Amino acid sequence: MAITYFERERVFRLDTPHTTYLLGLVDQEGFLGQIYYGPRLPEGETLRALLRLEERPVPPSADPRERASFYDSFPFAYPAHGGGDFRTPCLSVQTAGGGCNCELFYESHCISAGKPPLEGLPAAYGGKDGCATLEITCADPALGLRVHLRYTVFSDSDAICQSALVENGGEEPIVLTAALSACLHLDDMDFDCITLPGSWAREREIVRRRLVKGRTGAESLRGISSHQANPFLALCEHTATQERGRAYGMAFVYSGNFLAQAELDQYGKVRSVMGIHPEGFGWQLLPGERFQTPEAVLVCSDEGLGGMSRAFHDLFRTHLIRGQAKRRPALLNSWEACYFDFDHDKLLELGRQAAASGIELLVVDDGWFGHRNDETTSLGDWTVNEEKLPGGLVRLGEELGAMGVSLGLWVEPEMISPDSDLYRAHPDYAMAIPGRVPTLARNQYVLDLTRKEVRDCVYEQIAAVLREAPITYVKWDMNRPLIDVYSPSLPPERQGEVYHRYVLGLYEMQERLVTDFPEILLENCCSGGGRFDAGMLYYSPQIWTSDNAEAMDRLAIQEATALVYPYSAMGAHVACCPSHTNGRVTPFLTRGGAALPGCFGYELDLGELTEEERSQIPLQLAEYRMFGPVFREGDYYRLASFRDNGYYDALMAVTKDRSLAVVDYTQVRSRANLRSLRLPLRGLEETARYRCQGSGEVRTGAGWMLGGALLEAVQADFYNQLVVLERID
């Protein structure tokens, strides 16, 4: 088994295929500390000396006067507030008497095959043969509080999943004012910190900065993981590149407020924590009650940032995303084609254009329900507008089906319009603080998903539509942050639970959807990429990456997204030109090349294309069907970033058996005196021979990786080409 307890050394050892994680028990009291996380160690190695127990400050049993100093430097596996540890804690409590100290000591542990699910939460999964879980129970005897720390390792992934289950075993209520999911301690390394901040249409910009004394990281307090931040943080050697150097990554399997923080302390040690953001959080635990934190995923790579990315991709594709085997149809979305201005005939014409081009799915976006002809009305009234669509979605779906095109549908189940029948009947369903005017955003309010009757009302409306019409795809959107966060269903002392209960309600609704309609492909969306996180991937195998589908901007957005999430999760479309988000004009072929690695589609009126552009669609679809699986299922390598070099961009995917490789190259800017570009490749089998499909040139894998592929000089901006290598022996 990949988890071992060394009783004499009092050390827990967790092994993945290429890494080792060590925890150790200290002193009679049972302090639990992290010893090591890094490349896999020889069998039996425990490195207990790295706890530095002979150095001052020594454990309290050796010198009681050192207790506070010991707390301030010890690498606690799950640090609690109080006792003298002044770094960011994972656990903070307030007792009925107003006290806020908490100290955790080892009580017991168990090691088991498999991985238990987290009730009501998305989490990685695995069978008894594929993973093992260590559960360490720590307790605060004075409070009657227990924390069950869970660590899971997988036989086929270099990732470790961590979470905590907090249990009130005392006789008084306790309020959790912080309950984070994971803690990582590192030292003796010159680190950079990488986060993915952004904004609407500019999601997930890679920001890499030197780690200095103090705290840095990413956070969201918007009720969603947000456009402005992503629940991910990486620490890497200052000299680390895509191929070389040590890199650590933390990703949060959660879709609400979060904190991802790295803290460099007075001793040059790093504490990195991840979990639900403590601000605005307060969870009351009555005697006997439990609170389960969401899961965090930790990755360590000695093959640079690329190795870290591939480890996350493998874990998410194999142990988190469900429905991964579903074929991803090439689609046409109606939004940029006609916005709200459509009727049955217009949609049918889009369907004819799709069928003629070989597109498999037409998605009817916003505007099909209630009396919605703009963004001011009808959210919450999920009945078909038969003035626009006579015969409803049933007729439309049948007529499209006769053409060989299936029907998809956009919904926004979390929102309600003031101008809606639902709001007129139930204004209390919208989040609002008593005595205050509720805050509109995009002319809508947020539904109180903490309440079961609200969830049931909206879900049953949408489910009725899905049961009646031949829908094969649903795009679930969410278009504003949470404001006026209050629920009348909870007493005053529990209002700090609303943010998290909202997310739990969201998860319950999406779990119902994928359970009741397993044949439907669900894509999540949040004003584009505002909730692109691992929690959403548990329910939907793909997420709309950004409302900005302009090709050059998308190269950067998709590069940053791929630092953590696989291309199989990225909705990527060929959109209108000039771009509706930035006005840029790019060739149709290049727009296809930028979208190819993701879940491919079109978001425009095919009837407005030129004959030359329409003629390129069959080629793009053929490439998507042939090479899309390589990008979605194979190993990802970032060869070049125009964000860094200012001129060109290149990514590469290689099948797991190393038989086929595809390079997607884009020359963003041309240069004077341009010569062919030598682009070293990655991930090939060194001694195998590969033929380039275009030129017919044959080399060994080592020859392609060391010598590089030569890309011809083309005097043009926004030029895209594919390089395909096939193993021939």
Query: Which residues are part of the catalytic machinery?
Result: 477, 547
User: Taking the alpha carbons of 129, 116, 111, 185 in that order, is the dihedral positive or negative?
Assistant: positive
User: φ, ψ for residue 531 (rounded to 5)?
Assistant: -140, 50
| Nearest-angstrom CA–CA distance, 384 and 392 | 6
CA angle 490, 491, 492 (to 5 degrees): 120
The residue assigned the tokens 């988190």 is: 320
Instruction: Return the exposure string of 440-449: e unless at least 16 CB atoms fall within 10 Å of the residue's CB, then b.
Output: eeebbbbbbb
CA 300 vs. chain centroid, Å, equals 18
**Pairing assessment for the beta strands 258-264 and 415-416 based on DSSP bridges:** unpaired
User: φ, ψ for residue 59 (rounded to 5)?
Assistant: -60, 155
Strand partners, 48: none
User: Taking the alpha carbons of 547, 410, 498, 440 in that order, is the dihedral positive or negative?
Assistant: positive
Q: Give the pair of three-digit tokens for residue 92.
A: 């903070």
Q: Are 24 and 12 in contact (CB under 8 A)?
A: yes
- Written as one letter, the residue type at 447 is L
Burial (0-12, 13-18, 19+ Cβ within 10 Å), 117: exposed
| Nearest-angstrom CA–CA distance, 467 and 430 | 26
Cβ neighbours of 246 (radius 10 Å): 21
| Nearest-angstrom CA–CA distance, 363 and 341 | 15
- With H, G, I as helix, E, B as strand and everything else as coil, classify residue 111: strand
Strand partners, 139: 105, 146
| Nearest-angstrom CA–CA distance, 487 and 496 | 10
| Nearest-angstrom CA–CA distance, 702 and 690 | 10
Q: Give the pair of three-digit tokens for residue 478.
A: 């969410």
Strand partners, 146: 139, 167
CA angle 428, 429, 430 (to 5 degrees): 90
